[in-house]
Amino acid sequence: MTAAIEVRAVEKRFGNVGIIRDLNLCVVPGERHAIIGPNGAGKSTTFNLISGHIKPTSGEVRLNGDLISGLRPFEINRRGLSRSFQVTNVFARMTVWENVRCAVLWATGHRYAFWKNVDSLPEVRERTARILDDIHLTHRRDVPAGLLTYAEQRELEIGITIASGATVVMLDEPTAGMSHAETERAVSLIRRLTEGKTLVIVEHDMSVVFGLADRISVLVYGHIIASGTPEEIRRDPKVKEAYLGEEAH
Amino acid sequence: MTTATTSTPNVTGKPAGGNLRFYGVWLIGVIALIVLPMIFSSGGSLTSFSLIGIAIVFALSYNILLGQTGLLSFGHAVHYGLGGFAACHMMNAVTSHGWPVPLPFIPLFGGIGGLVFAMIIGWVMTKRAGTVFAMISLGIGELVASSSLILRSVFGGESGVTTDRTALPKMFGWTFGPQLQVYYLIAFWLVLSAVAMYALTRTPLGRISNAVRDNPERVQFIGYDPHVVRYLAFCFAGFFAGIAGGLAAINFEIANSAYLGAIQSGLVLFSTFIGGTAYFFGPILGAILVTYLQLGLTSVTSVWQLYFGIIFIGIVMFSPGGIAGLVMMHRPLVRAGTLWTVIPSYLVAIVPTAALAFGVILTIETIARYSGGDAINLFGIGFKPTSPVTWISAAVLVVGGAFVARVTWRRIADAWDRAATVARDRGYLA
């Protein structure tokens, strides 16, 4: 079976500093894969390398078997990979409705069209409405995204990410800064919305990670030291030493 | 009266008061354009209306860049000017070859002139937004403006390219000699362009332009290349600026280097910003106001540019949303029914604010006319610039006005807070 995402021997250097060294990662189609690791381990950089935000110094990244390293972010997105951001990254002056709709437009084939009225595209309207419903923001549809509460913005962030219908979804710390109740809500939202898709998630909250992930990869100093099921990771002595330490239980 | 030339559509998208109200606003605009010259039929007003119509098309085209795509251009007049030259050359070619192209089609060739240049230069220019784009636009603007004086065969050097609009084939028996006929031609293209540009904001490209304006990074992760979006927006802006230039060429029967220079580029930026970039109708208001100020102020004071500068600084500092932003700020209050609670504070503030403005004008004019010794006539009151009485009155008005005005402004802010809180409670304000 071809991996949904395959990272092979990827290296990223900024000047002389190697942030990512010999990174190997394999994400199986349909699984929920969490990447964990201490601060500064290179988790966000890994996301950026896969999604095309930055280019690897060497090595290759494959999406469903196709080489994508070196492609631009929008080219990778068009191939069915979508990602969210750790820092909320929405269209602040546009309404919630328009935020999600923008993310629907390319996937529905309307692209750069300047001869169609955007308000009278039935499939776009339906899909946007459905996603707003999914992320529980229908009642906030006409509010500019910049005026939403923090938790709402995080939900919108997820909505924008899944709106294109991408089969591989990458979420970068979706619950960061959320209260306990908000986190629970967000996790069930993620679980529901990524049903049948491949999910890669970076997360600090261990209860979220162990509750959600089918498999976990542990990243330390730009290198994956272990990959496996939550149970294997929990038992792995290398992981215990390098990362989980006393925090595990 | 002057605002009657505008069509002020509600841009916030979903027709809040139904389609009827939306089309009604456009219809009122069109009717106003038709009847305006019947009410104000003097040659002077017809000339003003024609200039305003051209300025509106130009400012709206600029807002495709600034307000909708977030591109700050310092060289937008390049497309306006090249549109003007294209129109002039086309008119001369039609006349000399006897082609069956009547005058009303000429602005389209202006638009093509602006578009072609935008297509050629735009791909490189729109690679980056922000400062890079602004600097390149400035450079291109200077380049084209200086070329216009050097490449005589195309631009006619200092004297420009002249043409005769009446020499083209007639249409409906109109010669387009009289200013009234030119006015209607401009009004026709104004409506056509405004509708087209408004429609553009409601297309997928229009919305994605907004997304690129707000967050070009994120746009890449929803499948779009922000470079392509900026390029297409730039081409549209160039096209409509070219139409405005073509209209100007018809109106003045000449195109010269002044069309595409930095002053013209600055003026359109100025109009658009003063009017307000966040709303479609903002640049319309701005174009009307700036054209009127330009026509009106130049005849009463030699330092009219100084007043332009003061108004611009005032808007940037106190109302970054422009006039449209100021107007639309009140919409939630109107809906919540709390507008009446702020009106009294406005009325109270008018007196000291006017006194302050009066004092500032008196100070500026005193300085400007001191050596010449011309008397200052301010709203019917005569002042001598060399007289200490004038200086003292100016000082008293400025200091006293500012002192009292500050107090009244604070009261406006308080009244606003209360009214906004009520509006928020009633759900009309986010």
Q: What is the pLDDT of residue B17?
A: 54
The b/e string for B8-46 (b: 16+ C-beta within 10 A; e otherwise) is: bbbbebeeeeeeeeeeeebeebbebbeebbeeeeeeebb
Q: Which residues in chain B are contacts of A111 at CB distance < 8 A?
A: 204
* Domain A5-248, CATH number (from 3.40.50.300, 3.30.43.10, 2.40.30.10, 3.20.20.80): 3.40.50.300
Q: How confident is the model at residue B301 (pLDDT cuts 50, 70, 90)?
A: confident
The chain A residue lying nearest B429, using CA atoms, is A143
B241 and B382 in a single domain? The answer is no
Which pLDDT score, from 0 to 100, does residue A106 have?
A: 96
Question: Do residue B8 and residue B152 come from a single domain?
Answer: yes
Buried b (16+ CB within 10 A) or exposed e, B330-354: ebbbeebebeeebeebeebbeebbe
CA–CA min distance A248, chain B (Å): 35
- B76 and B219 in a single domain? The answer is yes
Does residue B377 have a pLDDT over 90? no
Per-residue pLDDT tens for B62-84?
A: 999 999 999 999 999 999 999 99
How far apart are alpha carbons A158 and A175 in whole angstroms? 10
Q: What average pLDDT does the structure give for chain A? A: 93
Sequence length of chain A is 249
Number of Cβ within a 10 Å radius of residue B245: 35
**Strand A81-83 to strand A168-172: parallel, antiparallel, or no bridges (unpaired)?**
parallel
Q: Is pLDDT at B11 greater than 50 in this prediction?
A: no
Q: Residue B260's domain is classified under what CATH number?
A: 1.10.3470
Which pLDDT belongs to residue B305? Answer: 86
Beta-carbon pairs below 8 A across chains A and B: 107
C-alpha to C-alpha distance for A85 and B211, rounded to whole angstroms = 16
Task: Flag whether B318 is in a domain.
Answer: no
Sign of the CA dihedral with B88 first, then B94, B96, and B97 last: positive
What's the whole-number mean pLDDT along residues B208-223? Answer: 97
Distance CA B412, CA A13 (A): 56
Same domain, B14 and B143: yes
Full 3-state SS string of A161-218: HHHCCCCEEEEECCCCCCCHHHHHHHHHHHHHHCCCCEEEEECCCHHHHHHHCCEEEE
Q: β-strands A5-14, A17-27: how paired?
A: antiparallel
Instruction: Look at residue A248 in the predicted model and tell me its pLDDT.
Output: 42
Compute the distance between CA of residue A119 and CA of residue B177 in angstroms, rounded to an integer: 43
Q: Which of B256, B274, B308 is the last residue of a domain?
A: B308
- Predicted confidence at residue A243, as pLDDT, reads 66
- Which residues in chain A are contacts of B277 at CB distance < 8 A? none
The answer on B367 and B272 residing in a single domain is: no
Confidence of residue B21 (pLDDT cuts 50, 70, 90): confident
More confident residue, B98 or B1: B98
Residues on chain B touching A48 (C-beta within 8 angstroms): none
On whether both B389 and B250 belong to a single domain, the answer is no
pLDDT digits (tens, 9 = 90+) for A172-226: 999 998 999 999 999 999 999 999 999 999 998 999 999 999 999 999 999 999 9
B164 and B98 in a common domain: yes
Q: Are residues B298 and B230 in the same domain?
A: yes
Please name the member of B203, B221, B232 whose beta carbon is closest to the beta carbon of A115. B203
pLDDT of B15 strictly over 60: no
Q: Is B319 part of a structural domain of the chain?
A: no
Query: What is the pLDDT, as a whole number, of residue B5?
Result: 37
What digits encode the pLDDT tens for the residues B247-281?
Answer: 999 999 999 999 999 999 999 999 999 999 999 99
Other Cβ atoms less than 10 A from the Cβ of A164: the count is 23
Where does the pLDDT of residue B380 fall: very low under 50, low under 70, confident under 90, or very high at 90 and above? confident
- Best mutation target among A74, A88, A153, A171 (most B Cβ atoms within 10 Å) is A74
User: Which pLDDT score is estimated for B387?
Assistant: 86
B370 band by pLDDT with thresholds 50, 70 and 90: confident
Q: Are B299 and B414 in a shared domain? A: no
Distance CA A191, CA B47 (A): 66
Percentage of chain B with pLDDT > 70?
A: 95
CB distance B269 to B74 below 8 Å: yes
B384 assigned to some structural domain: yes
pLDDT tens figures, B34-53: 999 999 988 899 999 999 99
- With respect to residue B286, please indicate whether it lies within any of the assigned structural domains: yes
Instruction: State how far the Cα of B4 lies from the Cα of B36, in Å rounded to an integer.
Output: 8
Give me the mean pLDDT over the B221-247 stretch.
Answer: 98
Write down the pLDDT at residue B20.
80
Q: Is residue B98 part of a domain?
A: yes
Tell me the pLDDT of chain B averaged across its residues: 91
Residue A244 pLDDT grade (very low, low, confident, very high; cuts 50, 70, 90) = low
Q: Can you give the residue range of the structural domain that contains B227? A: 2-308
β-bridge pairing A168-172 and B254-255: unpaired
Range list of H helices, A85-169: 96-105, 122-134, 150-163
How many other C-beta atoms are found inside a 10 Å radius of the C-beta of residue A34?
Answer: 24
DSSP count for chain B of H helices, then E strands: 17, 4
What average pLDDT does the segment B142-154 reach? 92
Contact between A159 and A137 under an 8 Å Cβ cutoff? The reply is: yes
* Gap from B318 CA to chain A (nearest CA, Å): 20
Q: pLDDT grade, residue B29 (50/70/90)?
A: very high
Given this model, what pLDDT does residue B115 score? 98
- ipTM of predicted complex: 0.94
For residue B326, being part of any structural domain is answered with: no
Residue of B nearest to A149 (CA): B430
Q: Is B200 found in the same domain as B156? A: yes
pLDDT band at residue B14 under the 50/70/90 scheme = very low
Whether B89 and B220 share a structural domain = yes
Total domain count, chain B: 2
Q: Are A77 and A50 in contact (CB under 8 A)?
A: no
Map residue B255 onto helix, strand or coil: strand
Q: Which residues of A touch B13 (CB under 8 A)?
A: 95, 98, 119
Residue B324 lies in a domain: no
Tokens of B219: 């746009």
Residues in A closer than 8 angstroms to B213, CB to CB, are 93
Among candidates A93, A105, A160 on the partner chain, residue whose Cβ is nearest the Cβ of B204: A105
Residue B321 falls inside a structural domain: no
